[in-house]
């Protein structure tokens, strides 16, 4: 929490005759809203929120998010009142803080942003380059309109911007004379968190130096007690393998001498990235939009989305890193994500879930058995993988053990013989029993090796 907000909120105490905050979320139909609500709930003792106003012009999109938000507040025993509206003035009136997360034009506009530059042999990436400017041309006027309205109905309120391209949006607000605004982007903090995880220390115990513009940033150093720990880690292949930095070649990291964030991949390797994208049938935005259209009207908790890197017995050395596609998967209106994590090439991907936390409204179904080999995983291995997933998600109720993919996904081709399939499924069950006993402290349970 920013220091100015900590001081302001610290002066508010719950009790008779006192008032807490009124926070408005514009664009609350976003699937990121439950993560915001989860943050408010975790901090409700120090950040008293009397009313949370969720505003979205699309009430059909807002309704399921609002329902989930109310259940989250009720489960936490939070006294926060929930207001739901599609009226901008009603949402902003009386607000102390406003969080704006917009995508004017929706996924259809994103598709244009990502594909139009391709006609000219230029990379299309939704928040940077030509596509980023296209997004800015739509989002900036809308944001300025909300800021002007906020200054009228709630002068003195602070505006927190999550809308991309974040740097351009905040600059536009500043240029318009709107000073009480803060731009937020978590992409710049990934290296900071990665170093903390590697050292096994609290994130706040380290002091990073980061410069750049939201999705285009570099981490110059990460200091612990005054000593830079990043410089040596950039030469450590073991550390690199645990972070998004593995997408960069060692020589590039040595030349730069700093840690670029993941979006800079599109600039350091522009030709390679463009070739990869042009080789795809549809953009990421198209894929998500198509899925959301297909399942419209179906409750998210009844939908599971599967993601794997091709169910085949090969090297998989050119598989795209999960961190590049996970934020897009989070935008799907589904209740659970099934992700391949037992394949040796992707067993490390659980660390991506730690860095990019699973939204509170979703369940993770990690693959705990490999579907391309006849080796039967020991139940203890399965149990360990389940426990690692629970630790990464932070909630034992939101992890379900699964397989990497199907066991019969190719006609006339059998990667795993039928007897081994049944043994693998048995290991999932036994491993889940072991993990459940440990996670719910039900006593020791041992699994068989057959």
Residue 179, beta-bridge partner list: none
> What are the start-end ranges of the H helices in 162-283?
166-175, 190-199, 230-233, 237-240, 250-256, 265-268, 270-278
Distance of CA 139 to the CA centre of its chain: 21
Token output for 257: 């001498």
Question: Does residue 324 sit in helix, strand or coil?
Answer: helix
Catalytic residues: 263
Provide the edge-to-edge strand list for the sheet that holds 21-26. 81-85, 49-55, 21-26, 97-100, 158-161, 181-183
- Please state, in angstroms and rounded to a whole number, the distance separating the CA atoms of residues 194 and 191: 5
Up-side HSE of residue 193: CA atoms within 13 Å toward CB?
15
Question: Between the CA atoms of 252, 167, 322 and 273, what dihedral angle is there, to the nearest 10 degrees?
Answer: -50
Residues of the chain with pLDDT under 50: 1-18, 444, 449-450
The residues near 244 (Cβ < 8 Å, ≥ 6 apart) are 190, 194, 261, 262, 321, 323, 355
- Give the pLDDT score at 11: 38
* H or E element, residue 62: helix 59-76
- Give the pLDDT score at 318: 66
Per-position b or e across 422-439, b if 16+ CB within 10 A of its CB = ebbeebbebbbbbbbebb
Q: For residue 23, give the nearest of 167, 184, 154, 173 by alpha carbon.
A: 154
Backbone angles phi and psi of 359, in degrees to 5: -55, 145
- Please state, in angstroms and rounded to a whole number, the distance separating the CA atoms of residues 194 and 82: 36
What is the per-residue pLDDT across 322-381, written as a single tens digit (0 to 9) for each? 887 888 888 888 999 999 999 998 999 899 998 888 998 899 999 999 998 889 999 999
Token output for 103: 């995508």
- Please state, in angstroms and rounded to a whole number, the distance separating the CA atoms of residues 324 and 307: 13
Question: Does residue 352 sit in helix, strand or coil?
Answer: helix
The residues near 123 (Cβ < 8 Å, ≥ 6 apart) are 117, 129, 266, 270, 273, 274, 277
Per-position b or e across 139-149, b if 16+ CB within 10 A of its CB = bbebbbebbeb
- Give the pLDDT score at 363: 96
> Could you tell me the domains of the chain?
3-184 (3.40.50.720), 188-260 (no CATH), 295-439 (3.20.20.210)
Residue written as token pair 């830079």: 228
Token output for 346: 């992707």
């Amino acid at each position: 929490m920013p220091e100015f907000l900590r001081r302001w909120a610290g002066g508010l105490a719950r009790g008779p005759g006192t008032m807490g905050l009124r926070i408005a979320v514009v664009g609350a139909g976003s699937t990121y809203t439950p993560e915001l609500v989860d943050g408010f709930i975790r901090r409700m003792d120090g950040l008293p929120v009397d009313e949370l106003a969720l505003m979205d012009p699309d009430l059909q999109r807002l309704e399921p998010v609002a329902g989930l938000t109310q259940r989250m507040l009720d489960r936490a025993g939070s006294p926060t009142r929930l207001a739901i509206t599609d009226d901008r003035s009603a949402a902003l009136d009386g607000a102390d803080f406003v969080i704006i997360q917009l995508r004017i034009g929706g996924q259809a506009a994103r598709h244009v942003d990502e594909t139009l530059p391709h006609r000219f042999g230029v990379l299309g990436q939704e928040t940077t380059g030509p596509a980023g400017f296209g997004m800015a041309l739509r989002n900036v006027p809308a944001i300025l309109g909300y800021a002007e309205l906020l200054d009228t109905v709630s002068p003195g309120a602070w505006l927190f911007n999550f809308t991309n391209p974040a740097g351009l949006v905040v600059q536009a607000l500043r240029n318009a004379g709107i000073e009480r605004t803060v731009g937020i982007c978590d992409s710049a903090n990934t290296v900071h968190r990665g170093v903390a995880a590697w050292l096994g220390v609290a994130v706040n115990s380290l002091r990073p130096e980061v410069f750049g513009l939201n999705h285009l940033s570099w981490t110059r150093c990460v200091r612990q007690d005054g000593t830079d720990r990043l410089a040596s880690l950039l030469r450590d292949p073991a550390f690199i393998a645990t972070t998004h930095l593995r997408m960069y070649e060692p020589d590039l990291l040595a030349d730069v001498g700093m840690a670029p964030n993941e979006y800079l991949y599109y600039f350091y390797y522009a030709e390679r990235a463009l070739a990869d994208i042009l080789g795809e049938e549809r953009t990421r935005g198209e894929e998500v939009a198509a899925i959301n259209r297909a399942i419209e009207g179906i409750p998210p908790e009844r939908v599971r989305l599967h993601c794997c890197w091709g169910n085949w017995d090969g090297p998989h050395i050119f598989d795209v890193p999960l961190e590049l596609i996970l934020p897009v998967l989070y935008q799907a209106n589904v209740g659970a994500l099934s992700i391949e994590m037992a394949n040796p090439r992707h067993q490390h991907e659980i660390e991506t879930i730690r860095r990019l936390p699973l939204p509170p409204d979703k369940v993770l179904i990690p693959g705990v058995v490999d579907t391309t080999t006849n080796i039967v995983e020991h139940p203890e291995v399965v149990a360990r993988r389940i426990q690692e997933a629970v630790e990464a998600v932070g909630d034992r109720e939101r992890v379900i053990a699964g397989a990497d993919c199907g066991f019969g996904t190719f006609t006339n081709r059998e990667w795993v013989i039928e007897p081994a399939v049944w043994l693998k499924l048995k290991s999932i069950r036994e491993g889940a029993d072991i993990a459940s006993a440990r996670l719910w402290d039900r006593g020791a349970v041992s699994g068989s090796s057959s």
